[in-house]
Structure 1
Amino acid sequence: MSNAIKVYRHALSGHCHRIELLLSLLGLPASFIDVDLAAGEHKAPPFLNLNAFAQVPVLDDQGIILADSNAILVYLERRYGTGRWLPNDPLIQAQVQRWLSVAAGPLANSAMKARLVTVFNAPFDPEPLIDDAHALFALVDAHLADQPFLAGDQATLAEISLYSYIAHAPEGNVSLEPYPYIRDWLRRIEVLEGFVSMGVTKVGLVR
């Protein structure tokens, strides 16, 4: 397959890492175009012509333009996957969708924002974000006590949507030490064939 897929991204964005991770797990070659967020490149043409919401990532698949990381995950699996990452079973699909919603809601509004404070100097009050992250992680940890992956016995898009910001939560001063099942879950993801990591930023609890 030719290297026709392009991804507009920021290398330290967990949303962008989701796409890089799935592409690698699917064995799909892609080129990555870094968008300079600090310089406001995402808020000016021509990037706004790709995504009027001024957010990365954006996927360009031979002229098909898609934004929103979770939407891109679904598209890539449905177009290039075999159902491995989004099975056809209605119940499992619903369970995966639940976790995609968690990634876009509770995770984005807690651990992700806490990391934005330390990595990008975002003007948020970190303490309530850290508290909310711990409340969420306690729920996730309890869920994983009874099963190896979020939606059953194998990794799905649920794992890909949550992995990056949970794995990198310590960069936002959210410790993973209280959550043994989450730590085991992270290790199970990291040994998947094709796994690629996101660069670590030496901030927060990561020194």
Structure 2
Amino acid sequence: MSGSRIVLHGTALSGHTHRVELLLRALELAFDFVPAPAEVRRAEAFRALNPFGQIPVLQDGDLTLADSNAIMVYLVRRYAPQSNWLPDEPVAAAQTQRWLSIAAGEIMHGPAIARLIAQFNFPDEPGRAERISTRLLAFMDGHLQDRSFLAAGHPTLADLACYSYVAHAPEGGIDLAPYPAVGAWLARVEALPFFKPMPRSPVPARG
């Protein structure tokens, strides 16, 4: 363990922050949460932690690390190298990395952006996030037809990285009802003993 307490900079409504918080809870690592709303992220002090002004940022002793997926890999390798969160078995390891890429790609540009548009007036091409979300969720639903978790027969970083924005997709106007296997997977993640939900935002009315 590090000599000083871990510090997580983020916001309660950020899925990127939430995935790191879930892992910290899973690994039973004590940490301090420091809110980093937009005005904080624009300040020089925060830009010294992450020049891109993005959250989350993790501080662990002398280490300062940005990017949620990189933070999760670090935490597992540093504090739980023998755990199943980042598998060593080649196929499970490759699948975990694949889903981390999907979390940063299709999930970010689909459900996450749709939510940003609906909740925070984020500027984006109309309909683009919804189209990406539809393709993504159809793929995930097929993938999960005969699987309990995304990358292996047990939870991995893939599930934590992908959960938050998929679970909150309705807040971006994305209906999850047509994807029952995705819904069952979300319920399995929510049943994990360390799980803590991300606060909900209003679901927009459908036109």
What's the counterpart of residue 201 of structure 2? 201
How far, CA to CA, are the matches of 2:201 and 2:162 in structure 1?
A: 18
Provide the TM-score with structure 1 as the length reference: 0.94
Long gaps (5+) in structure 1: none
Aligned-partner Cα distance in 1 for 2:50–2:184: 36
Paired with 2:199 and 2:62, the residues of 1 have a C-alpha distance of 29
CA distance in 1, matches of 2:30, 2:36: 19
Distance in 2, matches of 1:3 and 1:24, equals 17
> Paired residues, what number?
204
Q: Secondary structure at the match of 1:46?
A: helix
In the other structure, the counterpart of 1:104 is 104
Cα displacement string for residues 135-178 of structure 1 (whole angstroms, at most 9, x for unaligned residues): 11000000000111111210100000000000000000001000
1:127 aligns with 2:130: no
Hey, what does 1:48 align to over in structure 2? 47
Distance 1:183 1:23, change over 3 A: same
Instruction: Give ranges in structure 2 of 5+ residues lacking alignment.
Output: none
1:91, distance to aligned residue in structure 2 (A): 1.7
Aligned to 2:156: 156
State the identity %.
Answer: 46
Given that residues 18 and 164 in structure 1 are in contact (C-alpha distance below 8 angstroms), is that contact kept between their aligned partners in structure 2? yes
For 1:146, the equivalent position in structure 2 comes to 146
Show structure 1 runs of 4+ deviating over 4 A.
none
Q: Aligned AA for 1:62?
A: G
| Counterpart mapping for 1:161-200 below 5 A | 161-200=161-200
Does residue 76 of structure 1 match 2:75?
Answer: yes
Let me know the Cα RMSD of the aligned residues: 1.5
Tell me, yes or no, if the aligned pair for 1:111 and 1:129 is still in contact at 8 Å.
yes
1:30-45 correspondence to structure 2 within 5 Å: 30-37=31-38, 39=39, 41-45=40-44
Q: Distance in 2 between matches of 1:72 and 1:79?
A: 10
Shift of 1:126: 4.2
**In the TM superposition, what is the alpha-carbon distance from 1:125 to its structure 2 partner?**
3.5
Task: Report SS of the residue matched to 1:135.
Answer: helix
Shift of 1:198: 0.4
**1:86 paired to 2:86:** yes
Compared CA separation, residues 180 and 68, structure 1 to 2 (3 A): same
Q: CA–CA distance in 2 between the matches of 1:36 and 1:128?
A: 26
